[in-house]
Amino acid sequence: MLVNRADSRPINVLVVGVGGQGVIMVSKVLAQLCLEQGYEVKQSEVHGMAKRGGSVFSHIRFGARVWSPTIPEGEADVLLAMEWAEGLRWLPSLEPERGIFIADTRRIVPPFAFRNRRRGADPAYITTRPDEVLDRVAGGYAIDATREAEALGNGRAANTVLLGALSTALGFPAEDWLAVISRFVPSKTIETNRQAFHRGRTVIEAGDLPDLSAPPAAPAAAAPVATATPATDRVTWRIEPSWCKGCNVCVTICPERCLALDQRKVAVLAAPDACTGCRLCEYLCPDLAITVSDGALSVAIEGAASPQPAAADPGSRR
Amino acid sequence: MNAISAEGELRILQGNQACALGAVAAGCRFYAGYPITPSSEIAEQMARELPKVGGVFIQMEDEIASMGAVLGASMGGVKAMTATSGPGFSLKQENLGYAALAEVPCVVANVMRGGPSTGMPTRPSQGDVMQARWGTHGDHPIVVVAPASVTEVYFETVRAFNLAERLRVPVVVVFDEVIGHLLETVRLPAPGTLELVDRPWAEGSPANFRPYAETPDLVPPMARPGDGYRAHTTGLTHADTGFPTQDPAVVERMLQRLLGKLDHHRALIERAEQVATDDAEILVVAYGITARAARRAVALARARGVKAGLFRPITLWPFPETAFRAAAAHASGLLVAEMNAGQLVLEIERLVGGAKPVSRLGRIDGEPIVPAQLLAMIERMASGGETAAAGRQA
Amino acid sequence: MTAMTKIDDRFDVRSWLREALFPHFLCPGCGHGIALRALVWAFHDAGIARDRLAIVSGIGCSGRIGAYIDTNTFHVTHGRPLAYATGLKLARPDLEVVVITGDGDCLAIGGNHLIHACRRNIDLTCVMLNNEIYGMTGGQVSPTTAEDRWTTTTPAGNIEPAFDACRLAEAAGAGLVGREMTLHLPALRDLLVEGLMHPGFSFIEVISDCTEIYGRKNDLGLPAEMMLCQTGSLRPDVYTSTVDQPFRPNRLRTGVLARSDRPGYLARISRVSDR
């Protein structure tokens, strides 16, 4: 699918995501490319909560003449969503008859989605499946850009995969895109980004898309608190998955190497038999997500929290 | 609010001294300040007075720290104030905004001197009237009162504390260097005769306590640390829980309540004096020391057959609109006199809305406005020879 | 206070947290989260009743962590928490007042308040989380940024030497000065307890890590690697290249660095009012 650049009106591309994903980098690449293709370009963005889970969006408009820097609602020719829920949130901005929706299926659940602290409560995260969304737009693709980039050896190149996908909708020559991209990425990653860009194009052009009808993986908070009882029977190891940000500190500093991150990037006690209950992981968890209790306390939990499962209610421990 | 008892002690006081004594009488038990001319006597007096009543005086390292310490003390539940002038008042603005948003009662006396910048430290001015209203960034509630005599400095300082506590807003007492250093006899109220107001305190169960709940009078009860509420106070926009939010609906509602506090309590806040306004054709609007010259000029004009009157706002912000409109009802012309290049006149012009000519007498040379200047203007206006444009002397 | 209170290893950090606000807003791997644990653990170990505790914090990543602690918390203006805390403590000597601040908040915009709080020996505990960067605003140079480091406002590398906050506090007269790193959590907790128990002004510098901005932009490694280098080679290597006054010598001095028994401000006030 290609937007019609023959019109005299500006072409509108809306890029959305959350902090730290590269929304601004993607926007700058596109804006610079359009400039070099001879268009007038306007780009306006909201950012600043970059590391704090805040949403980030950027309007890019280009054409022979562009006046307003912002895209009126319902007039985006392309909506590039680097995060799934953000994409859904911005759907009304898409031109209903011909707007193209390109979304990364990556789910970054923001902290405020977990305000309900009840165990097992649903996080306030959208449960819509990608195929349901694609039925509602004029045209679009949902790709797992992070996985594509990881397959190339660098998950951080996910935004370049998306640029590759975006390039199929805008139609400038691939070598022009790559010339601009190579100026915006660290020189040692130019080759990776070149591959990522081509991968993004191939995924769309070859229709090599993921199965969209699969139900979404359960977000972190919906999972019960994970507990594990190491073989020593002296300690209980617990994690609050929704608090864990996957920084890997516990995995690295564990003297027994018994921790790991699971596929959701949440710490798990992978080798309970090796755990000595030293509590280093608990002490140094920057997210205060890990609790290691000794055996005596573990018994107390079971008594106090009955009929709840053991260690299900941290509030009853004292 | 301030019943004066004839039983009270008669003293000769300087305006700055009266401010300090009024504050102590109002229940102020904490003062943090920084030396600056021409307000330093307030700090010096407080340093002597507060230890006598179990209060604490501290000279901080700078103007900003003084304002911060005052708010810290007030958040601890103690009535607190600071005093400053010109440059110091500029430095206090950020934390005055904190007081407005977090609803921390406090009183700031600003003894106005010639500006801008270091200006004329020992000369009077009324050039901070707009800064007192709009000095900190963002829309915010603030009350500003402008006493015109040493006695009034005393009682308006008491009233400033009462308003600050009752409404949980910052209150600024502005007076100029002349009044600050003027010695006058003051009849102090007899002990125990002043009506004093405490802020609404949170009572009842700490469970489900919401520190910024929307109460009917728009002033939420304040949690006192140590009482078990364990509340959070922040300068970020917050929900009624006290915790930060940027939810547009919540922010809008919270700010509307904050700004609405003053409208809701206008009757309590507004105060003005009127002299011969019933039939006034030329209405002079003046405040602070300038109003005293204006009072004399009005009397002289009356003696010469000119129907002049004086409207003296004691509360400058929010401006006593209703009283002003009544006073100006019969006037054919208005004359706003102030020691600046034209500040409160903007508010008068807004209220008059072009219906009547508004003349202005300003003075920015570090000298007070004198009755003869005003009388000449009044007479020219009465003879039809004065226009608004010609009145711009400053 | 050399006699340490008994450490309760079963301390439940969550009993002191406003759990409804979690997960906290800090970046993955941020050292401030560990400092948060150390703080509440120290409050517990020092036997402070949470209703009698007041936390005053400034602006920045450090200033936001106070809100996660279930006590009386005041999040005030940038650089001014020591000024607010001074007023609060003088008005309410019955409260235990703790200031949480950062390197920018405490040493740059609030530097004046720090030296005077030290000089007065005002009865506060000031905990400065030092991550060498303005994180909240996106990574600008701070008074403790090491020389040559990249920040958004030193694109060619930092040319200014860093403050040694502990030496500054000691010279200005703080009653107790100490430094500890988040990596050594139990030692940090113990140091904080000492600070809380000390009458007069205690200044505790906590070596923390900004992993997402400072660490990433300067190739300082993954969060755990940054933290492990708090004692080891990575940071000190840079500091030794600081020509004349290395901010952190090769072996970072930690623990209690200075202590005086000079009476605190409150003790002196009461002496004056007895006169």
Q: Is residue C234 part of a domain?
A: no
User: B297 near B374, Cβ under 8 Å?
Assistant: yes
Top-confidence residue, B206 or C8: B206
Q: What residue of B is the nearest CA neighbor of C94?
A: B226
A295 and chain C: CB distance < 8 Å anywhere?
A: no
User: A104 near A40, Cβ under 8 Å?
Assistant: no
- pLDDT tens by residue, chain A, 318 residues: 778 776 678 999 999 987 667 888 899 999 999 999 999 999 887 755 544 556 688 999 999 888 888 898 899 999 999 888 888 888 889 998 889 999 888 776 655 444 444 445 555 566 777 777 777 788 888 888 888 898 888 888 999 999 999 999 998 999 999 999 999 998 889 999 999 999 999 988 877 666 555 544 444 443 445 666 655 566 789 999 999 999 999 999 888 889 999 988 899 999 888 888 888 899 999 999 999 887 543 333 332 333 333 333 333 333
Q: Which residues of C fall within a CB distance of 8 Å from B64?
A: 80, 83
C-interface mutation test, from B222, B234, B238, most C Cβ less than 10 A away:
B234
Q: Is residue C149 part of a domain?
A: yes
At A312 the pLDDT is 33
Q: Under 8 Å CB-to-CB from A83, ≥6 apart: which residues?
A: A16, A17, A18, A21, A104, A106, A107, A108
Q: How many CB pairs under 8 A join B and C?
A: 130
Query: Tokens 């948003």 identify what position?
Result: B101
By Cβ distance, the residue of C70, C86, C94 closest to B69 is: C86
**What one-letter code names the amino acid at A23?**
V
By Cβ distance, the residue of A117, A242, A284 closest to C185 is: A284
Q: Please name the residue ranges forming H helices in chain B.
A: 15-25, 40-49, 63-75, 86-102, 129-134, 150-167, 177-181, 248-264, 266-269, 288-303, 321-327, 344-352, 371-382
**Residue B225 to residue C56, Cβ atoms within 8 A:** no
A53 and chain C: CB distance < 8 Å anywhere?
A: yes
Residues pairing with B173 in the sheet? B109, B145
Q: Is residue C243 part of a domain?
A: no
Closest-CA distance, C7 to chain B, in angstroms, reads 25
How far apart, in whole angstroms, are the C-alpha atoms of residue C117 and residue C59?
18
**Residue C91 to residue B80, Cβ atoms within 8 A:** yes
How far apart, in whole angstroms, are the C-alpha atoms of residue A162 and residue A173?
16
**Residue C84 to residue B75, Cβ atoms within 8 A:** yes
For chain B, list the contacting chains (3+ Cβ pairs, <8 Å): C
**Residue C80 to residue B51, Cβ atoms within 8 A:** no
C206 and chain A: CB distance < 8 Å anywhere?
A: no
Q: Is residue C230 part of a domain?
A: no
Q: Which residues of A fall within a CB distance of 8 Å from C228?
A: 252-253
User: A283 near C35, Cβ under 8 Å?
Assistant: no
**Residue A252 to residue C22, Cβ atoms within 8 A:** no
DSSP string, B126-186: -TTHHHHHH-SSSS---EEE---SHHHHHHHHHHHHHHHHHHT-EEEEEEEHHHHH-EEEE
Q: Please name the residue ranges forming H helices in chain C.
A: 31-45, 61-64, 81-91, 103-107, 111-120, 165-172, 185-197, 216-217, 223-228, 234-240, 265-274
pLDDT at residue B188 above 90? yes
Q: B272-382 belongs to which CATH class? A: alpha beta
Q: Which residues of A fall within a CB distance of 8 Å from C222?
A: 248, 252
C24-42 in b/e form (b: 16+ CB < 10 A) is bbbbbbbbbbbbbbbbbbb
pTM for this model (two decimals): 0.85
By Cβ distance, the residue of C22, C34, C37 closest to A243 is: C22
Structural domain span for residue C108: 13-221+254-273
Q: How far apart are the first and last CA of chain C?
A: 30
B206 and chain C: CB distance < 8 Å anywhere?
A: no
Is it true that B8-188 and B272-382 share their CATH fold?
yes
Q: Which residues of B fall within a CB distance of 8 Å from C124?
A: none
C-interface mutation test, from B31, B49, B71, B222, most C Cβ less than 10 A away:
B71
Count of domains for chain C: 1
By Cβ distance, the residue of C13, C28, C31 closest to A288 is: C13
Q: Which residues of C fall within a CB distance of 8 Å from A318?
A: 12, 15
C84 and chain B: CB distance < 8 Å anywhere?
A: yes
Handedness of CA A248, A252, A254, A256 (dihedral sign): positive
A188 and chain C: CB distance < 8 Å anywhere?
A: no
**Residue B72 to residue C56, Cβ atoms within 8 A:** yes
Peptide bond into B320 cis (omega under 30): no
Q: What is the mean pLDDT of chain B?
A: 94
At A299 the pLDDT is 31
Torsion of CA C164, C165, C168, C173, to 10 degrees: -150
Closest by alpha carbon to B168, among B220, B211, B214, B203?
Answer: B220
Q: Which residues of C fall within a CB distance of 8 Å from B225?
A: 54, 72, 88, 92, 95
- Mean pLDDT confidence for B233-244: 96
Q: Is residue C33 part of a domain?
A: yes
pLDDT at residue B388 above 60? no
For chain C, list the contacting chains (3+ Cβ pairs, <8 Å): A, B
Q: Which residues of C fall within a CB distance of 8 Å from A287?
A: 23-24, 26, 28, 33
User: C104 near C86, Cβ under 8 Å?
Assistant: no
By Cβ distance, the residue of B51, B98, B225 closest to C95 is: B225
Top-confidence residue, A156 or B288: B288
C185 and chain A: CB distance < 8 Å anywhere?
A: yes
Closest-CA distance, A183 to chain C, in angstroms, reads 17
**Residue C182 to residue A284, Cβ atoms within 8 A:** yes
Lowest pLDDT segment from B272-276, B349-353, C220-224: C220-224
What would the pLDDT profile of C60-114 be if each residue is shown by its tens digit? 999 999 999 999 999 999 999 999 999 999 999 999 999 999 999 999 999 999 9
Q: B 70-99 residues with CB below 8 A of C?
A: 70-78, 80, 94-95, 98
C196-228 in b/e form (b: 16+ CB < 10 A) is bbbbbbbbbbbbbbbbbbbbbebebbbbbbbbb
CATH at residue C70: 3.40.50.970
How far apart, in whole angstroms, are the C-alpha atoms of residue B127 and residue B115?
7
By Cβ distance, the residue of B72, B95, B230 closest to C51 is: B230
By Cβ distance, the residue of A51, A248, A294 closest to C222 is: A248
Q: C 37-56 residues with CB below 8 A of B?
A: 50-52, 54, 56
Q: Is residue C239 part of a domain?
A: no
Task: Report domain extents, chain B.
Answer: 8-188, 206-267, 272-382
% of chain C with per-residue pLDDT over 70:
87
C124 and chain B: CB distance < 8 Å anywhere?
A: no
Residues in chain C: 275
Q: A 221-260 residues with CB below 8 A of C?
A: 240, 242-249, 251-253
By Cβ distance, the residue of C72, C87, C269 closest to B68 is: C87
Torsion of CA C240, C246, C251, C252, to 10 degrees: -140
**Residue C83 to residue B65, Cβ atoms within 8 A:** yes
C109 and chain B: CB distance < 8 Å anywhere?
A: no
At A230 the pLDDT is 59
**Residue C272 to residue B51, Cβ atoms within 8 A:** yes
% of chain B with per-residue pLDDT over 90:
93
Provide the 10 A C-beta neighbour count for residue B134.
Answer: 14
User: What is the enclosing helix (H) or strand (E) of A251?
Assistant: helix A249-253
Q: Is residue C236 part of a domain?
A: no
pLDDT at residue C237 above 70? no
Q: Under 8 Å CB-to-CB from A283, ≥6 apart: which residues?
A: C34, C37, C185, C186
Q: What residue of C is the nearest CA neighbor of A221?
A: C23
B47 and chain C: CB distance < 8 Å anywhere?
A: no
At C271 the pLDDT is 60
User: C208 near C34, Cβ under 8 Å?
Assistant: yes
Alpha carbon A118 to its chain's center = 24
**Residue C224 to residue A249, Cβ atoms within 8 A:** yes
Q: What residue of A is the nearest CA neighbor of C27?
A: A51
C138 and chain A: CB distance < 8 Å anywhere?
A: yes
**Residue C224 to residue A251, Cβ atoms within 8 A:** yes
What would the pLDDT profile of B258-282 be if each residue is shown by its tens digit? 999 999 999 999 999 999 999 999 9
Q: Which residues of C fall within a CB distance of 8 Å from A291?
A: 12, 14
Q: Is residue C249 part of a domain?
A: no
Q: Could you confirm whether domain B8-188 is CATH 3.40.50.970?
A: yes
Q: Which residues of B fall within a CB distance of 8 Å from C136?
A: none
**Residue B94 to residue C116, Cβ atoms within 8 A:** no
